[in-house]
Amino acid sequence: MKIFRSLTLAAITLLSHQVLANVDPLPSWNDTQTKKSIIEYVQQTTSPDSKQFIPVSERIATFDNDGTLWAEKPAYFQLYYAIDQVKAQASQHPEWKNTEPFASVLKGDMEGVKKSGVKGILALVNATHSGMNSEEFDASVKNWLKTARHPDTQRPFTQMVYQPMIELLHYLQDNQFKTYIVSAGGVDFMRAWAPEVYGIPKEQIFGSSMKTEYKVIDGKPQIMRLPEISVLNDQAQKPATIQTYIGIRPVIAGGNSDGDLEMLQWTKASSYPSLSLLVHHTDAEREWAYDKESAVGHLEKALPLAKQEKWTVIDMKNDWNQIFPKQ
């Protein structure tokens, strides 16, 4: 009887492995060489018998967010949060009616906001992301996401994520890769929603940050947000952030712009087999087609380097049969 049960258990185990092997882990990806390369990489690096095997402790995967895991057009989504906060707080700041870029925001003039450049955008961020404690900011972002909609698609912003990349994150997580977000976006802005959407816990999300101050207010210890950027987590700062807070060089990294170039280089130089992924926005019908001419997600230096360094370039139009989650 025991032998029968053992044989039955072995048969069920074998069958389950066969079934899992036949399940497509990336159904929103077309059967192109890109998909084959990703699956082959995961299979080879997680098989104990493989010469390319990577220990679980070294299976680190880092991903940019804007333009890599969710869309970033026509402007970074965090900017829309800042714009809505300016409108909501305008009655408390009459001076904004005559101060740029606040005046343009209140007029609904996005071109005027763009003309203000990085300095203007930082002014919006500093004004709307500070003057509250960490819990209040987290609640503010979550409340905004409940009703905010993308200006072109009218989807909730959390439905503007890329279904193929969600599948890739889950595929890596299922194969014991520890997934991180390393983005130029605000770290606390992302931590308000990304854990639920991506399955990545808050402590594995890194981004740009505001200066903060510890205070005891009415007997309660609080972390107060100050109107000044502390760290801009872009370009060369990304591998520095990885080294400081993760302490292990990634074996997989994904990005979509020149701001991710150094992180992809850093990953490519791993002593283990590596996979540097560069998302190229080529689908003007289902999303947006852009690269070197775009101010948002500017991609010029990293694309030729990808060919030179043999990174895997994800062509959205050809490699993905679906862009956003089905509603």
Per-residue model confidence (pLDDT) at position 19: 47
- DSSP line for 170-198: HHHHHTTPEEEEEEEEEHHHHHTTHHHHH
Residue with tokens 């439905």: 159
φ, ψ of residue 219 to 5 degrees: the values are 80, 5
Torsion sign (Cα): 78, 79, 84, 88: positive
Q: Distance between CA atoms of 35 and 20, rounded to whole angstroms?
A: 17
Alpha-carbon distance of 249 to 274, in angstroms, equals: 10
- Please list, residue by residue across 90-108, b when 16 or more beta carbons sit within 10 angstroms of its beta carbon and e when fewer do: eeeeeebeeebbbbbbbee
CA angle 175, 176, 178 (to 5 degrees): 125
231 and 237 Cβ atoms separated by less than 8 Å: yes
* Residues 79 and 88 sit within 8 Å (Cβ to Cβ): no
pTM: 0.92
| H-run or E-run covering 110 | helix 110-115
pLDDT at 7: 53
- CB proximity list for 265: less than 8 A, separation 6 or greater: 239, 276, 305, 309
3-state secondary structure of 154: coil
Chunked mean pLDDT (size 10), the chain, 327 residues:
54 47 91 98 98 98 98 96 96 95 94 90 95 97 98 97 98 98 98 98 98 97 97 98 98 98 98 98 98 96 96 98 95
One-character DSSP codes across 239-261: HHHHHHHT-S--SEEEE-SGGGH
Domains of the chain: 26-73+161-319 (3.40.50.1000), 77-147 (no CATH)
pLDDT at res. 210 = 97
- The reported pLDDT for the residue numbered 3 is 57
Q: What is the pLDDT of residue 279?
A: 98
Phi, psi of 285, deg, nearest 5 = -85, -45
